């Protein structure tokens, strides 16, 4: 599955802890991230991450384009709800796209844990159908 990893500045440490804790699950998937977040994840975990621009420079929109084309299956976007973001319209647009295209979205570590455990159990294999792929008959 294609998974996006995004974190506001005050949530980057949470994202590093999260990706470190679930490295074994995440390494089985294709990872994408906004610039600084992606670099920090790679440095901390050794995971391979395709990096886009930083969020304020368009990275959120680059990930949004993948969502709009059904090329992103899950988004972990650890947001900082207590700090005003200069690119808040981009953040809102990204969240809206996840809703429009039924892409699972975690905006905090608690929901992230639920989604990552679902990913581990293969609960999200329905995304293959959304992308038009033939389902595996061995799915549980």
Catalytic center residues: 60
Helices (H), the chain: 12-21, 23-26, 35-45, 59-68, 88-100, 109-120, 126-130
Query: What Å distances lie between residue 4 and 39, 60, 137, 140, CA to CA?
Result: 13, 10, 27, 25
Query: If DSSP states are collapsed to H, E and C, what string results for 17-54?
Result: HHHHHCHHHHCCCEEEECHHHHHHHHHHHCCCEEECCC
61 touches 90 (CB < 8 A): yes
> For tokens 């990706």, what's the residue?
19
């Amino acid at each position: 599955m294609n998974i996006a990893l995004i974190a506001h500045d005050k949530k980057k440490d949470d994202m590093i802890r999260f990706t470190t804790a679930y490295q074994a699950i995440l390494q089985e998937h294709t990872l994408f991230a906004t610039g600084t977040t992606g670099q920090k994840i790679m440095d901390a975990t050794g995971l391979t991450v395709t990096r886009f621009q930083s969020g304020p420079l368009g990275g959120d929109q680059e990930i949004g384009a993948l969502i709009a084309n059904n090329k992103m299956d899950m988004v972990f976007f650890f947001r900082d709800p207590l700090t005003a973001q200069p690119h808040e319209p981009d953040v809102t647009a990204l969240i809206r796209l996840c809703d429009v295209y039924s892409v699972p979205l975690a905006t905090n570590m608690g929901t992230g844990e639920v989604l990552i455990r679902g990913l581990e159990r293969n609960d999200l294999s329905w995304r293959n159908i959304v992308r038009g792929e033939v389902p595996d008959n061995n799915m549980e």
